[in-house]
Amino acid sequence: MIRRPLRTFTVLIGAAAAVTAFATPASASPALNEAAGPATLAAAQQKLGTSLGAAFAGSWLDTATGELVVGTTDAAQSARIRAAGAVPKVLRHSTAELKHIQSTLDNRTVSLPGSVAGWYIDVVANDVVVSVVGGDATGRAWAASAGVPVRVEQVKSAPRPLWDVIGGQGLYFSGGACSVGFNAYDDDDRYVITAGHCTELGGTVHGVDGTIGKVAKSSFPGNDYGTVKVTHSDVDTPPRVDRYEDGNDVRIEGADVVGVGGRICRSGITTHWQCGRVEALDQTVNYGNGNVVRGLTQTDACAEPGDSGGSFVSRPSSGSGTKLVQAQGMTSGGSGDCRSGGTTFFQPVKEVLNRYDLTLEKD
């Protein structure tokens, strides 16, 4: 995302054409505004753009009035625009001219400095803007050397690709690997929920594509949950759980509890997507060495080391379309394996949500 400029530099190359003012009748009141709705506005913009042809200079909604404004390089076309219900504005550059400028920049990426964050057509200002991080001199020089009229804006930082933290995928601590449980948020921040015996490792936590943040809170033994605070702006936290080779991601709809005998599935980096049934609720489990955890749910869905912290959800329904599920909890531990079968326990997610006043990311 390109932010508003802190400071603006202008590079003007070429002669500026004269702009002729055009008065419109006071009696003509625009009918096209934001209240008309996207479909009506889109149809009007397309029709006007076609009818104006080479004189079309873009269109936009006035943020103060909500009225549709249509630009033209030919003042004689203002009456046509007004008759269509829009507000005319005579501008210097046509849309075709601005697209040509943009295309010229698009064809110069081989020499592109890292300080150039991008470029775009500013339809309201009727020019092409080049965003340069910190107003870097090399970036400004690149814009000036293009041989086309551009405006250079200074931005704080360069954009970065966003990557997703998804339930069941890898969560890497300095002392070991676990799996993502669920994504959640409070009034100020976003968090990844996982097992407490994972977050007790502390420190900076990484996901499949980079750094997520640092451990925020941890509870183990007694409970088995913890949170990682998301501190990197390139991290997205959708309400999804990875089904790996079993199908497309499922999406979290809520956190209604599946009772004894109900079908559930879990996801983790070691054994991926495994399903089974709930066998018992509110179980106390002794992991040895004084590590006793209370309030766990017992299942016959197998798991293995590395799956810890991963998502337990209600079993998705059959049929086409996006599968919606209910979040159940995070894999805690168990016995056996996914070759011979086993028993697995999960920490109910509602407890950590209530304890830390968090809300699950969901559709």
Q: What is the pLDDT of residue 3?
A: 36
pLDDT digits (tens, 9 = 90+) for 272-290: 999 999 999 999 999 999 9
CATH number of 7-13+95-155: 3.30.300.50
Residue span(s) of the chain under CATH 2.40.10.10 come to 160-363
Q: What percent of the chain has pLDDT over 90?
A: 79
Rg for the chain, CA atoms, rounded? 28
Range of lowest pLDDT (72-76, 112-116, 266-270): 112-116
- Which residue, among 162, 188, 140, has the nearest Cα to 5 in the 3D structure? 140
pLDDT exceeds cutoff 50 at 17: no
pTM of the predicted protein model: 0.66
Indicate the CATH number of 160-363 among 2.40.10.10, 3.40.190.10, 2.60.40.10, 1.20.120.80: 2.40.10.10
Length of the chain in terms of residues written: 363
Spatial CA neighbour of 352 closest among 198, 173, 176, 203: 198
Is the separation of the CB atoms in 179 and 168 below 8 Å? yes
Query: Which residues fall within 8 angstroms of residue 343, CB to CB, at 6 or more apart?
Result: 279, 298, 299, 300, 334, 335, 336
- What pLDDT score does 27 carry? 42
Instruction: Tell me the catalytic residues.
Output: 197, 224, 308
Is a pLDDT exceeding 90 seen at residue 206?
A: yes
- At 30, the pLDDT band (50, 70, 90 cuts) reads low
Contacts of 53 (CB under 8 A, 6+ apart): none
- Tell me: the pLDDT tens digits for 93-106? 999 999 999 999 99
Question: Cα separation of 158 and 66, whole Å?
Answer: 31
CATH of domain 34-90: 3.30.300
What is the mean pLDDT of the segment spanning 83-94? 95
Of 3-12, 50-59, 65-74, 151-160, least confident by mean pLDDT is 3-12
How much is the pLDDT for 319? 65
pLDDT of residue 20: 33
Q: What distances in angstroms separate CA 4 from CA 1, 133, 156, 252, one per listed residue?
A: 10, 12, 9, 34
pLDDT of res. 320 = 61
Delimiting residues of CATH 3.30.300.50 domain(s) in the chain: 7-13+95-155
Mean pLDDT computed over 172-182? 95
The confidence score (pLDDT) of residue 29 equals: 46
In whole numbers, what is the pLDDT of the chain averaged over residues? Answer: 89
Residue 190 or 23, more confident: 190
Q: Is it the case that residue 16 has pLDDT exceeding 50? A: no
In the beta sheet, which residues pair with residue 123? none
Strands 324-337, 341-348: pairing kind: antiparallel
Q: Which of 48-57, 90-99, 110-119, 209-218 has the lowest mean pLDDT?
A: 110-119
Over residues 223-243, mean pLDDT: 95
Which tens digit of pLDDT belongs to each residue from 303-318? 999 999 999 999 997 7
Answer whether 345's CB lies under 8 Å from 307's CB: no
What is the per-residue pLDDT across 43-80, written as a single tens digit (0 to 9) for each?
Answer: 999 999 999 999 999 999 998 999 999 999 999 999 99
Confidence band of 12 (pLDDT split at 50, 70, 90): very low
